[in-house]
């Protein structure tokens, strides 16, 4: 593997510990349940998890990236299986059948550092950004006919970019004058020429690249669907562990856990008993100073953990 494409798993031990910590320390489980690595990436979490499970434990992974599937092929452990699907497909698993779900969101270092994938403004490459390169539109294809209004909306909503309007207008003007943008460096330069002020140390194109990547892969919609599915497939006492790397993702996770960590009342039936809370929040963790020093890409990570409440009968119902 290219030296640029090495990957260091963020919050590796902390995530697996959180996934396996028993609800009742005096009665720890045998670690022989089904665990889901919803975003396999390069398999760091899965590999450690397999070392901690019993011979009857299993790990089912999901990933859209063909390179992740190739990496998974190197795992010969019979307790492991992977599906080339987005992680919202955990909804297809049997209800209350899963002991723990780990979601490590965003892109992996090999994806960022492989120029041909088009995720980074640091390298010359095709403006692609698809997680699954076998289907769907690339960013370059979408930009060939997207309207100023739609481009503005995407950059504003998914990149939280205050210069979304001027950037969108510049993209469309460039398209009309010289043809569509096809490479990462072309887009990065256009944004730099448009955005005259930026936070110290941040490339002007950072937020625009983030926005296009999230949009083209429907990442936030996938996350929302996967979280809702987790409520159904987690067994009582099962852990939900989510690592996010930017505020949009973390806000969704935080609000989801908070919403389901309280009794739910039906306003249409004011005298009906509330539905008992379905999750219990177990807090959040950030990378240590030592981890951030060793891997600067870990600096923005936040890990949130929750446990599934209820009895087996209640969940199945």
Chain segment 155-207, per-residue pLDDT in tens = 999 999 999 999 999 999 999 999 999 999 999 999 999 997 777 778 999 99
Q: Please report, rounded to a whole number, the percentage of residues in the chain having pLDDT higher than 70.
A: 89
- Over residues 253-269, the pLDDT tens digits come to 999 999 999 866 556 66
Distances (CA, A) of 40 to 33, 62, 102, 135, 168: 18, 6, 9, 19, 34
Report the share of the chain in percent with pLDDT over 90.
Answer: 81
Instruction: Look at residue 272 in the predicted model and tell me its pLDDT.
Output: 57
The structural domains of the chain, ordered by start, are 3-109+219-316 (3.40.50.150), 132-216 (1.10.150.170)
**Mean pLDDT of the residues in the chain:** 90
Tens of pLDDT, residue by residue over 42-58, are 999 999 999 999 999 99
Is the model's pTM score more than 0.85?
yes
Q: Which pLDDT band, with edges at 50, 70 and 90, does 312 fall under?
A: very low
**Predicted local distance difference test score (pLDDT) of residue 106:** 85
Confidence band (pLDDT; 50, 70, 90) for 4? very low
Tokens representing 267 are 């306003």
CA-nearest of 28, 222, 21, 19 to 101 is: 19
Scanning the structure block, which residue is given the tokens 């990933």? 63
Per-residue pLDDT at 269: 63
CB atoms within 10 A of CB 79: 18
For 127, residues 6+ apart whose C-beta sits below 8 A from its C-beta are: 118, 138, 139, 140, 143, 181, 182, 183, 184, 186, 187
155 vs 315, more confident: 155
Q: What is the pLDDT of residue 102?
A: 98
pLDDT band for position 111 (50/70/90)?
confident
Average pLDDT over residues 289-296: 95
* pLDDT per residue as tens digits for the range 77-95: 999 999 999 999 999 999 9
């Amino acid at each position: 593997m290219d030296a640029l494409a090495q990957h260091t798993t963020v919050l590796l031990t902390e995530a697996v510990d959180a996934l396996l910590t028993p609800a009742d320390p005096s009665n720890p489980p045998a670690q022989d349940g089904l665990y889901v690595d919803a975003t396999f990436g390069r398999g760091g979490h899965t590999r450690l998890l397999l070392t901690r499970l019993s011979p009857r434990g299993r790990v089912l992974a999901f990933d859209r990236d063909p390179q992740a599937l190739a990496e998974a092929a190197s795992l010969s452990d019979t307790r492991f299986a992977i599906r080339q699907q987005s992680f919202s497909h955990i909804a297809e698993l049997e209800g209350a059948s899963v002991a723990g779900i780990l979601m490590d969101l965003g892109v992996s270092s090999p994806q960022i550092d492989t120029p041909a994938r088009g995720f980074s403004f640091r390298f010359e490459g095709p403006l692609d950004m698809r997680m699954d390169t076998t289907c769907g539109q690339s960013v370059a294809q979408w930009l060939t006919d997207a309207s100023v209004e739609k481009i503005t909306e995407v950059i504003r909503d998914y990149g939280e970019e205050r210069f979304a309007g001027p950037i969108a207008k510049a993209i469309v003007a460039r398209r009309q004058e010289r043809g569509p943008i096809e490479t990462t460096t072309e887009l990065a330069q256009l944004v730099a020429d448009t955005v005259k002020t930026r936070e110290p140390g941040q490339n002007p194109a950072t937020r625009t690249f983030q926005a296009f990547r999230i949009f083209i892969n429907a990442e936030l919609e996938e996350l929302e669907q996967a979280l809702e599915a987790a409520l159904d497939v987690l067994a009582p006492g099962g852990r939900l562990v989510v690592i996010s790397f930017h505020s949009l993702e973390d806000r969704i996770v935080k609000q989801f856990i908070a919403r389901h960590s309280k009794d739910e009342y039906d306003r249409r039936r004011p005298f009906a008993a509330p539905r008992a809370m379905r999750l219990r929040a177990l807090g959040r963790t950030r990378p240590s100073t030592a981890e951030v020093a060793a891997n600067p890409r870990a600096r923005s990570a936040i890990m949130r953990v929750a446990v599934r409440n209820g009895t087996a009968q209640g969940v199945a119902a």
